[in-house]
Structure 1
């Protein structure tokens, strides 16, 4: 209405320009009411121009995010870097992890660095100088106990996320020693194997070496920095050897992708709760440290994480999809009426329309009415969320990008390429892919003929090459050559597909191994081989995927053994009747879980629910191969409805 009044008939008539050579004379000839109208209109338009939400300017053409490289077998490189060389580091003065810390120390002086808290207490901070002093003392103490300041010296660290973890790591880097993270889900046998493979000392807490303080012995970029053992699915754990240059190159690639829109700085605060034994968490922390930022640790109990977030008010939040799923479920559980649910979805769609145009903000009308409390529950200052370790749900990622009002990135990779090899390009807030190659590596797809994936069709096994690719497995040349070919290409075992815009989509796994939502690798066949020993079980199929946090199973009872087994348990009836009884199903599940525990399965490897199927898998019904092996894709599709129902029951 205001615009209509300003564009009155007099004004429109006045704008039919007369033949005047002097524009000043023309303006002076306009009626006063017209001049006032023009002034108001100009003011409104100027305010809108200044205050309007602006889209993030992408660092490259979002329709062309990677390109093929000549002489590299169709490999793709990032379009963000103009250099023909792959990125090895971002900062000239930060080529090792020791220099990364020194750079942060130089930027912040004696600013706060590592924070921790007790329940209901504020965060208490150690400064950069305090941390460096403690690291020197700890490292000197280790040297005085016989450790050597070189890359042949391995130091194991077994602790939850806390300041001492970072201090222990820095102590090793200060004297060119190698960190070997340990974590409880490895299991006692795996930990025993790792210790026997090369560890000399385990640091449960740091000791001071003030009396024997030694001068630092800094490492070189090609020196080994860390050996990360994979949890593994079969056999002994594999020790991934990463150099200082590997780690610096990988987070340098992350910095290069994001440097125009959300560069880390001294004011950034990262909440640390993902295990520091995994490289994804440590890589993001390294980027923060390099720029003098702060790291605040959670209390050690995931149930208190919301309180830690509100107290710390972080700006950077590394997460895994499982946590994003929980956030999403909690938000909608609080919308406990059809009307509230409809309004929440409506607001998310309106805000999502902005996100699709590249606009990320937390001050829209939708934020003020619907999403402010959600953002406040995470501290109210988030500007970056990074998710990795497993694929994220399209619907969850899309909703949270709208609701949280901050940039949400997705990464893909594995320890063997340090952490990440692809990353979301700023401004591309679409889902269904894992971004383009990082500027530190090339990615190519190679044929997997047995699964009908061919590079000519832009599908195949994902292979990675670059300065972020590991040097091999510790004392394991056989498995090293299985993963790392003679030309330096890392064969990930994942199947990818190039999309038209140069981004990568993960579509399958070369072998029957997958990740759960929390990032744990699962070998279903190993689990099936344990459960098949259950007396009433004749056949079974263990199912899981990267959007779920647990496993479920399809069980076919043995027609001959099952009735008598059930009778011993106090259940009566014929085969069909027994299959339909919930208490019989529970008895079978309990027996399977018992066998799993006896065989050392972790809790995340145990199925949480099962469906009893009465018909045997066979060649005739298409569920077995001619050699009587399970056809896993066919089983997944055949039991799609039952699997969805099992997960629905678990979430209730």
Structure 2
């Protein structure tokens, strides 16, 4: 089970001596480090300094844990049409497959495709997490290739851009993506081969018929693209084995494309040194062991998921992959019974809402007991007495823990803010460590994290052992490092976890990393007296209202989304000609339906889209939702001009398919504004009609 180092909660970060001085611009330039690592940042895995690359790391794990179970998945029974329990392959078995697949890929590239180039080349991976994903990536590390992840939710336009931009000639993909690649083959002139992670069977149910595999291969031949399956490449490798070509620390291990809200994706070049420094940094806070079991469902095209899986691999733990359907995730969790549960706030908010409904909001004796139990455990938590309670755990919370399989020791959340009340409730409900981390793709998702025994919510913790942070003035938004009571500014990060730069993009690289290696995040924060950082604003996507106040809509959306359980998605809109904000909200059906039914007296049920749309259009429901958003805004300490004054409720959700979201689930603001232009205009007209002086 995981173990944690103990640190002083009252002094979590320190200023680096000699840095508190005016910089060239006259502003203070204090650097902050974890209090236990003020003298030097961690740049490697301290108990294994010989490990310099992901290749070294994998060889180390195979040597130490060869006979241990490593990768697990739930096989599908095509006859019964059901999924079985988890089946496992050991570190040694996976290593044999890595060697075979890597050798096969090298033979395919050089002999069959005729690519005799001596320089390194990129291999594309397109699938949700599964054993073949890891095998493909580790094959790249063994033969000094560059892995390039394609988002499982990316549309064909972004896939086309990345495949061409990274000059990918071979894509390893799950079978459901093969048709998309072949359909767009004319737009992918460099693509020469596709390897299916799923078996392509040439058998046919009816004599004389053509199998799906034969159709795909023939289609590929017509497009000039060879189509294989994973087993064929492994067989090629077994027949034509290759010696490993170990990489060096500063060579690029992977290009991770970050999909921005505007423009084309940017390819972040992540080196072996970045990965090793990140694992070393994570080891300084939490020690995973070979007894730990990880549920892997976060997209491996996102760096957070990759880092967590890599840390587990180094520790000799077991990684169980989900089936690929997020709606069935908790069934996989119940089957796997993990000890480590990494997640994102959106999922944890849903779990929180269900637990609240079945405990403190439950009717009768159950609800009364739950409210007493929660109050008692919350009081203990606030007093720094931990998350366990002998009586209430036995009476109530041991049953609650079964929602995540009953063995979870650590929940890790990141990628977006999570509300204070949700974080605290999860801590006492599951009686485990709940960590909140902060980082970005460019910094290996590793910048700050809360400590294991933290009991005060609402911040992102202190710098990691391998990172230092500083706050840079943003005068236009009135944030300065000299602010009282706490310094404020844009958060910048430095350390061996910071990426090498953007692939083929010197302009964005120079705008993101300065000459001293500092990474500008675009996030505004402050550091408190304990040395903990808190995100309070966003530098990008800001605009002015008519009265001159600066608005960071993403910050507002995060607050409302985290604190109002009626929100599934929300977009906050404003511009320099208006003095108020309006919003477009897609409700969360599970919580919205009982809320709206109670207001209107209706009895709309889940799945009744027509009834749900009618509730969204009801003026009484809109007004009630606005009041809930106001409560959430007050709880999030929003300023008066940051509150939305009108809201449009709709079931027309933002998605990657309709172009209103990026594959990393960020809102594409111009596209959403255009899509809801008519409704936005109508909301402002209503505001102007009711308060003629509102428009300045």
Q: Give TM-score, length-normalised by structure 1.
A: 0.73
Deviation at 1:152, TM superposition (A): 3.0
- In the TM superposition, residue 331 of structure 1 has moved relative to its aligned partner by 1.0
Distance 2:315 2:446 in 1: 20
Residue 133 of structure 2 is matched in structure 1 by 165
The answer to whether structure 1 residue 105 and structure 2 residue 177 are counterparts is no
103 and 595 in structure 1: CA distance in 2 versus 1, 3 angstrom threshold = closer
Question: SS of the counterpart of 2:37?
Answer: coil
Q: CA deviation at 1:80?
A: 2.3
Q: Does structure 1 retain, via aligned residues, the 8 Å contact 2:467–2:494?
A: yes
8 Å contact from structure 2 (residues 585, 649) kept in 1: no
Q: 1:352 touches 1:401 (CA, 8 Å); kept in 2?
A: no
Query: Match for 2:352 among 303, 308, 328?
Result: 328
Change in Cα spacing, 1:596 to 1:121, as seen in structure 2 (3 Å) is closer
Question: In terms of mean alpha carbon deviation, does 381-390 or 177-186 score higher?
Answer: 177-186
1:190-218 Cα deviation digits (max 9, x unpaired):
11110110222110123211111111111
> Are the structure 2 counterparts of residues 105 and 591 from structure 1 closer, same or farther at C-alpha, using a change threshold of 3 Å?
closer
Q: CA deviation at 1:278?
A: 0.8
Q: By how many angstroms is 1:601 displaced?
A: 2.5
Q: 1:622 Cα deviation (Å)? A: 6.7
1:67 aligns with one of 14, 21, 35: 14
Deviations 1:317-364 (CA, angstroms, capped at 9, x unpaired): 111111111111111222331653343232123223343455556672
Give CA deviations for 1:508-565 in whole Å, capped at 9, x if unaligned: 000127387799xx9969x999xx9xxxxxx9845689x9999x9xxxxxxxxxxxxx
2:282 aligned residue (240, 246, 254): 254
In structure 2, relative to structure 1, the CA distance for the partners of 1:78 and 1:591 (3 Å cut) is closer
1:130 matched to 2:93: yes
1:356-403 Cα offsets, whole Å, 9 max, x none, are 455556672211111112212211111111111111111011011011
> Is 2:435 the counterpart of 1:409?
yes
Identify if the C-alpha distance between structure 1 residues 427 and 146 changes in structure 2 by more than 3 Å, giving closer, same or farther: same
CA distance in 1, matches of 2:389, 2:398: 9
Question: Aligned in 2, Cα 1:150/1:589: closer, same or farther, shift over 3 Å?
Answer: farther
User: Which secondary structure state, in structure 1, belongs to the residue aligned with residue 493 of structure 2?
Assistant: strand
C-alpha distance in structure 2 between counterparts of 1:174 and 1:277, whole Å: 20
Q: Does 2:186 correspond to 1:115?
A: no
Looking at structure 1, the residues matched to 407 and 340 of structure 2 have their Cα atoms a distance apart, in angstroms, of: 9
Distance 1:84 1:177 in 2: 32
What is the SS of the residue equivalent to 1:185?
Answer: coil
**2-structure distance, mates of 1:102, 1:92:** 14
Which one is further off, 338-347 or 493-502? 338-347
2:333 and 2:405 in contact (8 A); partners too: yes
1:560 equivalent in structure 2? none
Residues 417-458 of structure 1: CA deviation (Å, up to 9, x unaligned): 011200112322221100100011110000000000001121
Quickly say closer, same or farther: Cα 1:617–1:383, change in 2 above 3 A. Answer: farther
Pick from 489, 504, 508 the counterpart of residue 460 of structure 1.
Answer: 489
Q: What does 1:304-383 align with in structure 2 at a 5 Å threshold?
A: 304-335=328-359, 336-337=362-363, 340-356=366-382, 358=384, 360=386, 364-383=390-409
1:425 counterpart residue number: 451
**Whole-angstrom distance in 2 between the partners of 1:484 and 1:429:** 34
Helix, strand or coil for the counterpart of 1:145?
helix
For residues 595 and 324 of structure 1, what CA distance do their matches in structure 2 show? 20
CA distance in 1, matches of 2:392, 2:344: 26
1:581 to partner: Cα distance: 10
Counterpart residue number, 2:212: none
With over 3 angstroms needed to count, the CA separation of the structure-2 counterparts of 1:597 and 1:100, relative to structure 1, is: closer
Label 1:211 to 1:376 Cα distance change in 2 as closer, same or farther (>3 A).
same
- C-alpha contact 2:437 2:461 (8 A) present in aligned 1: yes
SS at match of 1:104: helix
Determine the C-alpha separation between the residues in 2 that align with 1:462 and 1:200. Answer: 38
Residue 231 of structure 1 corresponds to which residue in structure 2? Answer: 259
Given the alignment, which residue of 250, 265, 268 partners 1:222? Answer: 250
Matched residue of 2:315: which SS?
coil
Q: Matched residue of 2:129: which SS? A: coil
The gaps in structure 1 that reach 5 residues or longer are 1-55, 533-538, 553-577, 625-652
In structure 2, the partner of 1:503 is 532
Q: Name the CA shift for 1:579/1:378 in 2 (closer, same or farther; >3 Å).
A: closer
What's the RMSD between the two structures over aligned residues? 3.8
More off after superposition, 491-500 vs 72-81: 72-81
What pairs with 1:84-99 in structure 2 (closer than 5 Å)? 84-90=40-46, 91-99=48-56
3-state SS in 2 of match to 1:410: strand
Tell me by how many angstroms 1:71 deviates: 4.0
C-alpha change, 1:437 and 1:581, in structure 2 (3 Å) is: closer
In structure 2, the partner of 1:535 is none
> Given the superposition, is the C-alpha separation of residues 355 and 95 from structure 1 closer, same or farther in structure 2, using an over 3 Å criterion?
farther
Q: Are residues 544 and 171 of structure 1, via their aligned partners in 2, closer, same or farther at CA, if it must alter by over 3 Å? A: farther
Give me the whole-angstrom Cα distance separating, in 2, the residues matched to 1:377 and 1:591. Answer: 31
Do the aligned partners of 1:77 and 1:441 also contact (CA within 8 Å) in 2? yes
Cα displacement string for residues 458-504 of structure 1 (whole angstroms, at most 9, x for unaligned residues): 10000001100011111011111111112111000000110110010
Distance 1:98 1:352, change over 3 A: farther
1:60 CA displacement: 2.5
Number of corresponding residues: 525
User: Is structure 2 residue 168 aligned with structure 1 residue 140?
Assistant: no
Q: Conserved in 1, the CA contact under 8 Å of 2:491 and 2:525?
A: yes
1:147-189 deviation per Cα after TM superposition (whole angstroms, max 9, x unaligned)? 6798731111000111111111111001111111111333221
Instruction: Say which SS state the counterpart of residue 186 (structure 1) adopts.
Output: coil
Q: Is the 1:234–1:523 Cα contact (8 Å) retained in structure 2?
A: no
Contact 1:58 1:427 in 2 (8 A): no
TM-score, normalised via structure 2 length: 0.69
User: Which runs of no fewer than 5 residues in structure 2 stay unpaired?
Assistant: 20-28, 76-81, 111-115, 174-196, 198-229, 542-552, 563-568, 593-616, 623-646
Secondary structure (helix, strand or coil) at the match of 1:213 reads coil
The reply to whether residue 480 of structure 1 matches residue 509 of structure 2 is yes
Aligned residue for 2:476, secondary structure, equals helix
> Does 615-624 or 207-216 show the bigger shift?
615-624
Q: Describe how 1:603-618 pairs up with structure 2 within 5 A.
A: 605=667, 612-613=683-684, 614-616=686-688
- Show CA shifts across 1:82-102 (max 9, x none): 642443333313321122222
Q: Which of 141, 151, 157 is equivalent to 1:189?
A: 157
SS at match of 1:290: helix
2: CA distance, partners of 1:184 / 1:483: 27
Q: How far apart, CA to CA, are the structure 2 residues paired with 1:580 and 1:400?
A: 35
